[in-house]
């Protein structure tokens, strides 16, 4: 039987005056964005999810049609406190690991403009790990319905970190540069009560833009720990007991236990248009 995944996505732009921004006065603006996506899966063998760590279910085995996969609603408020100091907060409502739609604060930072081409941000920021990281929840900003799930689901800590970054935008002739080092920590809730912690995450993003072409390279290093209550309560004690009898079990236990693992991510990307 030919099994297909059919996706129908309707992008809803919450249109507000002045380029989808509502001026509330006192240098405060409110912006909105959202996507209403209906996904159909013709097979009931498994659910289709964009990220197995953050989405507990989707179309397929649970239900043939689902709004959970792509639907989301976001609001962002910006306040230009003084000429060189601004504040940003962004909340997004989407399906969470506990199957709720409670809005989560994705961004919440202060930005200081040090020079005309140099800015510093601190607070809850989005690390520049992958090329489309800045548009994780703004689907209509992508050339596809959604970012490639096989690639972006590998980096669950891409949504936000508690830290600081630097945005340096020099220009050499017709080439516009962005040099963005960052540092921080992240804690991400996952399905089945799992938690992923990334400590001492440090990285840098360097991109060069010429007209409509952008070339980008980034490097990220972190120490990651995955906490799985079910694994720690049941499987880990059994493996620990068997480890004394079979050295191969010790190796398997070490591979299955993600504790302070030294991880590095290298990404290269290009965009035309």
**Per-domain boundaries in the chain:** 5-272
Name the token pair of 93. Answer: 């409502």
60: left (phi over 0), alpha (psi -120 to 50) or beta: left
| C-alpha distances in Å from residue 103, one per residue of 72, 76, 100, 143 | 10, 12, 9, 26
Name the token pair of 239. Answer: 């493996």
pLDDT at 251: 59
CB 131, CB 144: distance < 8 Å: no
The predicted model scores a pTM of 0.81
- The one-digit pLDDT tens for each residue of the chain (273 residues) are 344 455 444 444 443 333 467 888 889 999 988 888 888 888 888 888 888 888 888 898 888 888 888 899 999 999 999 999 999 999 999 998 888 899 999 999 999 999 999 999 999 999 999 888 888 888 777 778 788 887 787 787 788 999 999 999 999 999 999 999 999 999 988 887 888 889 999 999 999 999 999 999 999 999 988 777 655 555 555 555 556 665 665 655 555 556 678 889 999 999 887
pLDDT at 229: 62
Chain centre distance of CA 94: 13
């Amino acid at each position: 039987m030919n099994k297909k995944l059919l996706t129908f996505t309707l992008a809803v732009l919450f249109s507000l005056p002045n380029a989808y921004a509502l001026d509330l006065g006192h240098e405060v603006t409110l912006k909105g964005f959202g996507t209403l996506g209906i996904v159909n899966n013709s097979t009931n063998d498994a659910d289709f999810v964009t990220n197995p760590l953050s989405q507990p279910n989707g179309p397929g085995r649970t239900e043939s049609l689902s709004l959970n996969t792509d639907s989301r609603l976001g609001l962002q408020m910006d306040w230009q406190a003084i000429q060189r100091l601004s504040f940003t907060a962004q909340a997004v409502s989407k399906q969470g690991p506990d199957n709720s739609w409670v809005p989560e604060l994705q961004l919440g930072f202060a930005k200081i403009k040090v020079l005309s081409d140099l800015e510093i941000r601190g607070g809850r920021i989005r690390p520049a790990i992958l090329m489309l990281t800045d548009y994780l929840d703004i689907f209509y900003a992508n050339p596809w319905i959604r970012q490639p799930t096989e690639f972006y689901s590998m980096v669950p800590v891409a949504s936000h970190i508690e830290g600081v970054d630097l945005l340096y935008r020099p220009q050499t002739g017709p080439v516009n540069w962005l040099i963005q080092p960052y540092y921080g920590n992240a804690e991400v809730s996952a399905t089945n009560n799992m938690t992923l912690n990334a400590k001492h995450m440090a990285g840098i993003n360097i991109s060069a833009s010429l007209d409509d072409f952008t070339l980008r390279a980034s490097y990220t290093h972190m120490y990651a720990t995955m906490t799985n209550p079910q694994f720690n309560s049941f499987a880990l004690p059994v493996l620990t007991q068997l480890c004394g009898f079979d050295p191969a079990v010790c190796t398997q236990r070490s591979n299955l236990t993600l504790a302070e693992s030294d991880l590095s991510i290298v990404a290269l990307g290009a965009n035309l248009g």
